[in-house]
Structure 1
Amino acid sequence: MAHSEFIQVKRLRGELLLSQKRNHWGCTLTTKELIFQKPHLSYHLLLDDIIGIVPFHPKHGPGAEGWISPWETPDPSASTYKITANRLTIIRRSGAVRRGQTDLILPLNQRFLRYFREHTDFTALPTKVHL
């Protein structure tokens, strides 16, 4: 097996729906969980723990002072979303840490959102678009 900077996910719960890897990030969606990966770090969320996903528009854009991008090379077709969850597990090579209620800000592309919408019982609500 070739060396990968991504931490291997040993067991997935549920059926695999979508798995994407792009340069410096990866995303796996099953019928039970979401896993977001970047080199040497993974975020694991059970779908039952997710409270909501909403578009996120940072006050400062990439390159602006004070902006810290959570992803080094986001997918150009992705938009940024804030996922609020009751629980989140952060997995590093040194071990895993569970967090309580938290927000996770990530780039999500339309393909991922379509699969999420089609295979979960979440309700999509219209959001206000800022131009």
Structure 2
Amino acid sequence: MNDDFLRIQALEGELKHAHKKRGFGLTVSTKELVYQKPHANYYIRLEHIMSITPYQFPVGSKPLRINREKHSASETVTVETGMQHYRFYVSEATLHNRSGIFTLGASQFILPVRRELLLAISSYGGLNGVDTMI
């Protein structure tokens, strides 16, 4: 395992799926989604996901990370060309990194998500309509 990744601490709920690629990981439990990247984990309670929508990068654009202010954030990651990306709007998230634990306000994450993980997120999070957009 890569030393750059932090261990997931205190996962709430029952572990259902985990997917990890070099530089990126997603873990889904019955209560939360954990987005892992080197040196940082973002914990998102499924009840805090306000919407999930398919996302297409504009032609010629490169994914980038934007932090607007301390209490809100936008995070984009690309792992595989051709893999469907989704925009997650969340009312809050928690960032765990080597400097500590920080609560983020309303945030968005643009992430590549496999179908089975997306279905688990929608099922355990009580989101309707996700199965129609895959």
Fold shared per TM-score above 0.5: yes
Q: TM-score, normalised by structure 2?
A: 0.78
Quote the residue 1:71 is aligned against: 77
1:9-88 matched pairs, under 5 angstroms? 9-60=8-59, 64=60, 66-69=61-64, 70-71=76-77, 74-76=79-81, 78-88=83-93
In percent, how many aligned pairs have the same letter?
Answer: 26
**Count of residues paired in the alignment:** 122
Structure 2 residue 116 is matched with structure 1 residue 111: yes
Question: Structure 2: which 5+ residue stretches go unaligned?
Answer: 65-75
What is the alpha-carbon distance in structure 2 between the residues aligned to residue 3 and residue 124 of structure 1? 36
Question: Structure 1: which 5+ residue stretches go unaligned?
Answer: none
| Superposition CA RMSD, Å | 2.3
Q: TM-score, normalised by structure 1?
A: 0.80
Contact residue 47 and residue 125 of structure 2 kept, 8 A: no
CA shift, 1:34, in A, is 0.3
Q: Which has the larger radius of gyration?
A: 1
